[in-house]
Amino acid sequence: MKTARELQSEFGIDGTVSISEIAPGYPAIQVNNRYATANIALHGAHVMAYQPRGQEEVLWLSRDAIYRPGKAIRGGIPICWPWFGPHQNASLPAHGFVRNCFWRLDEIRELEDHSTRVILSTGDSEQSLSLWPFAFTLRLTIIIGPSLDLSLRMHNSSELACTITSALHAYFAIGDIARTELHGFEGLGYLDQLDANSRHIQVGAIRFVGELDRIYEGAIATAIIRDGGRARDIEISKSGSRSSVVWNPWIAKSGSMDDFESGGYRHMVCIEASNAGEDAILLPPDGRHTLGMSIAVNNR
């Protein structure tokens, strides 16, 4: 992998894009344009931060996050692929393996509207083939502009069909989970991952009084995080996805994770654009699929 200095020389843009190490051998991209600031690690192609001008930070990132090759960053937007959640083979990593390795930086460009587009990619390797026997390429396109847009294009370049579950596992920063409501899920069926994936129907807004971990089905509408602690709404729209995962670990679960800062559960909620549960994607040989997510903030 190229050093941060080499990446800075090749991809840096005076005044808006710089690349530096946030830990030894662990480069990250800092974007600072007219719309927002953002931070993206090459490890996992992991968007760690996104702050629109005049707004507070939109993504939650644990103060105790670990920046070490092979360990997913706690917070921001981890990319769960080629499977979502635990694997039936417990020796395989939860949420797949692409969030645990360095991706290649392919392009950083300023677009006509002065948004910044960042493209990273990864593909099969000897290591990935030992975990999952398919040749593939993944490309993540990130646009930092009037909104934060992510587009994950996946290509099955193997001779066999494969089934993919995945998620853009976004952690959002909120003022107080006890004063937060999620809208856009009303009337949807969901699988309760805390109760043997039992099936339920969402009545009204989603509110939090304890750990919550659900896969919502038929979730195609824009989701809204109504943050009572801050006079703003965060709007999440999607493409290539009919399921959304909603998660807050609450006290015990978050306390069991050494990279989850103490009390952090009060200030975060996950809404994940996904292909999870029955929304799994069957990719034939040479098949492609794109999972997209767009995040925007509106003052109330």
Q: In the set 95, 230, 232, 238, which binds ligand TA6 (CB under 6 A)?
A: 95
Taking phi first (over 0 means left), then psi (-120 to 50 degrees means alpha), and beta for anything else, what does residue 54 get?
A: left
For ligand TA6, the binding residue among 18, 85, 104, 218 (CB under 6 A) is 85
When asked if residue 72 is in the footprint of ligand TA6 (CB under 6 A), the reply is: yes
Residue in 245, 271, 291, 295 binding ligand TA6, rule: CB under 6 A = 245
169 is catalytic: yes
272 catalytic per annotation = yes
CB of 288 to ligand TA6, least distance (A): 25
Distance CA 48, CA 75 (A): 7
CA atoms within 13 A on the CB side of 2: 16
Taking the least distance from each CB to ligand TA6, the nearer of 244 and 294 is 244
Beta-strand relationship, 243-248 and 268-275: antiparallel
262, 74 Cβ separation under 8 angstroms: no
185 is an interface residue for ligand TA6 by CB under 6 A: no
Residues 130-159 that bind ligand TA6 (CB under 6 A): none
Work out how close the CB of 271 gets to ligand TA6 at its nearest, in angstroms, rounded to a whole number.
Answer: 10
Comparing CA positions, the residue from 105, 154, 106, 104 lying closest to residue 134 is 154
Judged by CB under 6 A, the number of residues near ligand TA6 is 11
| Site for ligand TA6 contains 94 (CB under 6 A) | yes
- DSSP, collapsed to helix, strand or coil, labels residue 131 as helix
Report whether 174 contacts 162 (CB < 8 A).
no
**Contacting positions for ligand TA6 (CB under 6 A):** 72, 85, 94-95, 169, 193, 213, 245, 247, 270, 272
Q: Which residues are catalytic?
A: 169, 272
